[in-house]
Amino acid sequence: MVPRLLNDDQKGRRMQEEEELQLNKYSNDGRPWHRKRKREGKKRRKRNPQREVERVSAPPVAKKEGKNKPGERKFAEACQKIQESVERYLERHDLVQDTDEDEDEDDLEEGAIIDRVYQSYGQGADGRTQQYLQEAVKSGTLVCLICIDGIKRLDPIWNCGECYSSFHIQCIQKWAKDSIFQMSEVQVDSALDPRAVQSMSNLSWCCPKCRSQYSQRAIPTRYLCFCGKATDPKFDPWLPPHSCGEICGRKLKPLCGHSCLLLCHPGPCPPCPKNVSNSCHCGQQPPKTRRCSTKTWSCGQPCGHTLSCGQHSCQEPCHPEDCSPCPRKSMQPCSCGASTQLRECAQPVWHCDKVCNKQHSCGHHYCQQVCHKGKCGPCPSSGLRTCPCGKTSHTLPCTQEIPSCGDTCGKELACGVHLCAERCHKGACPTCLQFRVKQCRCGAREKETACSKELVCELKCKNLRDCGRHTCSRKCCVGDCPRCEQQCGRTLGCRTHRCGSRCHQGPCYPCSITHTLTCRCGKTSITVPCGIHKTARPPRCSQPCRRPPDCHHPERKKHKCHQGACPPCSMVCGLELSCGHKCPHSCHHAVPVKVVDNKKRAGPWEPIVAPHIEIQKQPCPPCQVPVPTTCFGHHETPDWPCSDLRPYSCGRKCGRELACTNHTCQRECHTVEGAPDSVKAGTSCAPCEALCSKPRPEGCTHECGKPCHPGKCSACKQLVKTKCHCTLTFLYLACHSFTSGTSEQKEAMQSCKNQCNKLVSCGHRCSKECHSGPCSEAQDCHKRVTIRCACKRLRKEYPCPLVTSGKVKLECDGICAIKLEEKRKAQEEEERKKLEEEQARQRKEVEEFERKLEGRKHRRRNRHQMEPEVEPSLWQKQSRLLLGAAIVVALAGFTFYLLTSDD
């Protein structure tokens, strides 16, 4: 959607309303004039204050001529006073605004800012980068090429990525939108064509300086810093304007893999300062350490690379690009090999002028190609061919021509509507002779005319030309309206002169007339374009300011000539205070103070008093000369300001020793009364009310429980719960007896007098009573252990030490041997029975297999009983016996495996 553009008058009215709204923001404090307008306060604040003033200041029209009431006269007088107050405020606002602008555009420390930008670079400044950086730092050097106005340090800008030029972001947005609108207006008449619609969606705009193309999506919408990391960067006097102060980080060009190390800066990034190891162009010399920006170098020796001819080598000095073509010459045959010439070695392929003239495979035609390689190919007149109209096809010898089919041609004529009505013919079709109803070129009229002729009507085009103001007026126009040749004549931005250029769309160029502005003293002057001489800042003057001081000092601090009010006096006040000291603060005799009148008006006839700045004399601040002062408790004697000199408490604890001799007074620093010396507490100190907190004997964790007292505490009688040595029983012991006893006494008190529950190495309990330390030895164990013979039939009990030492052993007797023999025989009998049962089962399976095999042979004999009987061979006679023997051997092996696995 193309945005609606405003003409110059509408733009002027809108700018004037915005300026008046900004300047008159204090002309109406938003308070209700009477009770009926309290509900409309929010709506009234949104109105233009200037219009409110004009509405109030306009005198009321009498209903009848000759009748002026006293109330209406008073109301008109009140409105006149309000208008005068507004004008006085606007004059002061313009004066303050000029002063602020002068302060915002003060000269910066160019050298310090450039050094700070290059602090991480480590190399000398690049000429092109330093030029852009100096232009950005110096005031008044950057100019927007669209509005031909200077770019201030606080103005939002946009930077071109190709030429690095800066423009006001509002100017570049308007430039881009106007460019796209003008191109879209040219194509608006052909919008029904799909290709035209696609081209309208791909419209682009260009940089006003370098004409680099940008897409519609690239129209800037945000104010970014030079490196593009920060949005709306804040101005810092120690950094270049429009910079975020961070490392740039953009990829260096040409791409080397490194990024820019400078702080965010305007213009192109300097060459890469990194050190890299790189060999020469030809690669014959070892690598050298060089700067990344100049890492390519030449050793000066012959290149030596093989040339494209594949025979000679390059003799040029070491170079970066590809090797030049071979400069030598040699005898080179042509493509067909008919002739040989002395030619350049770099161009071995060439063609002579001889026609091939070899006979095709058809035997009738000859090849008409000039000097070629390989076979000539098939005859071009052979194969499947069609008649001139393409409706019939024939496969004829190459010696015969394709005859005409005799049918209607049917090809589309040049008109694109009708078809050729002649018979099949060679050559181009004739012109269309039919008549039809056609539309004119612009599509507004219809008429029956020859199909081959173009219809042109007498209707004049009503579309606007490229200026957007005048109509085309060309007959039967198809949308390609010519450029407007009339004079523009619109009022320029200066509001005084008119544009003399050709009628155009968009804003006119600024007025070329200039005006001269002078400083306050009139010794310095500059020339500015027409239209901005009323709002432009006067030139800076190097002469000293000659205004008299407005404070009690005899003269001002020396400073240069300037516009607006002089800066406040920064010299020391020096007036004598009531205490006798001199005021050390800066001068406060004439200080600008913002005065706000909060008095409620009685009615609309009273003028609105807007906040204004007044020069007032401020009283001297309190004296800050340090004077030594001692606190109540005589803890410290610091220096206090003279104006705050008084007795005071330092906030520390009193710290005097109380009667209990264990604690000190915890009251905040106070006046001590009745103290015998400077250490003991007095009658005004707080008595001790804490419990006894003396350290207890070693091992005792109980408190004394008595009030704080002098001397030692009594013995602790609390019971202590503890476990015995074997950790099975809880014991309750007196704290004093347990903590003051010796190690032997503590050992005896912690014993429960029961047998120890720990096990010794033999596996039985310790024979000692509850004790600490190691248990009894295994040889002292009194337990009896039962042992058995090898067959587990006999058993007997022996003392534990004899069993663990291996001194006793129980042997089997004769009865044990008889029992073992009987058991072995029983097992052998059981195994024999299992073997017999297995053999019987195997014989049964063999008989069953033979029976099935015999029945199968009997059936086969009956099926082939008509065939002559053949005597069986020896293998056939013995195969049954051999098969049975193999089965028996396999079963015997399996049985043997089962018997051995059981054992």
180-223 pLDDT per residue, tens: 888 887 766 544 444 444 455 678 899 988 888 998 888 998 99
What is the pairing mode between strands 626-628 and 639-641? Answer: antiparallel
Q: Work out the pLDDT band at 667, boundaries 50, 70, 90.
A: confident
Per-residue pLDDT, 70: 59
Residue 827 in 3-state DSSP? helix
Residue carrying the six token digits 């534990």 = 800
pLDDT reading at 724 higher than 70 = yes
Residue-level pLDDT at 62: 35
CB count within 10 Å of CB 690 equals: 12
Q: Where are the beta strands (DSSP E) in 334-454?
A: 340-344, 384-386, 393-395, 435-439, 446-450
pLDDT at 494: 82
Q: How confident is the model over 139-155, as a mean pLDDT? A: 82
Please say if the pLDDT value at position 46 is more than 50.
no
Q: What are the pLDDT digits (tens) for 446-492?
A: 888 888 888 888 888 888 888 888 888 888 888 788 888 888 888 88
Q: What is the pLDDT of residue 168?
A: 92
What local confidence, expressed as pLDDT, does residue 826 receive?
Answer: 87
Residue with tokens 């000859």: 366
Mean pLDDT of 690-713: 81
Statement: residue 301 has pLDDT above 50: yes
Q: Which range has the worst mean pLDDT, 96-105, 186-195, 301-310?
A: 96-105
Q: End-to-end CA distance of the chain, in Å?
A: 102
> What's phi and psi for 842, nearest 5 deg?
-65, -40
Average pLDDT (65-71) is 48
Reported as a pLDDT band with limits 50, 70 and 90, residue 45 is very low
Residue 22's pLDDT band, with cuts at 50, 70 and 90, is very low
> CA distances (Å), 353 to each of 334, 371, 377, 862, in order?
10, 7, 20, 96
The percentage of the chain sitting over the pLDDT mark of 90, rounded to a whole number, equals 2
Are 884 and 848 contacting, i.e. CB atoms less than 8 angstroms apart? no
* Range with the largest mean pLDDT of 203-207, 302-306, 338-342: 203-207
- Using an 8 Å Cβ cutoff, are 726 and 754 in contact? yes
CA pair distance 692, 404, nearest whole angstrom:
138
Tell me what pLDDT residue 121 has: 64
Query: Do 208 and 146 contact (CB within 8 A), yes or no?
Result: yes
- Higher pLDDT pick, 755 / 869: 755
pLDDT at residue number 57: 35
Angle, CA 815 vertex, CA 810 and CA 817 arms, to 5° = 80
Cβ contacts of 411 within 8 Å, gap of 6 or more: 389, 419, 420, 429
Mean pLDDT of 48-55: 37
Cβ neighbours, 10 Å, residue 269: 21
Question: Can you say whether residue 240 is alpha, beta or left, with left for phi > 0 and alpha for psi between -120 and 50 degrees?
Answer: beta
Question: Measured between alpha carbons, how far is 259 from 53 in angstroms, rounded to an integer?
Answer: 59
Residue 395 has pLDDT above 70, yes or no: yes
Q: What is the dihedral of CA 69, 75, 77, 78, to 10 degrees?
A: 160
Q: pLDDT tens-digit profile of 756-781? A: 888 888 888 888 888 888 888 888 88
Q: For 496-547, write each residue's pLDDT tens digit.
A: 888 888 888 888 877 878 888 888 888 888 888 887 888 888 888 888 888 8
Quick one: average pLDDT of 698-718?
Answer: 81
Residue 247, exposed/middle/buried by CB under 10 A (0-12, 13-18, 19+)? middle
Q: Which among 226, 216, 278 is positioned nearest to 250, based on CA atoms?
A: 226
Distance CA 96, CA 10 (A): 29
Share of the chain above pLDDT 70, in %: 82
Distance, in Å, from the CA atom of 99 to the CA atom of 562, rounded to the nearest integer, reads 9
pLDDT value at 100 more than 60: no
742-773: b or e for each residue (b if 16 or more CB lie within 10 Å)?
eeeebeeebbbeeebeeebebeeebeeebbee
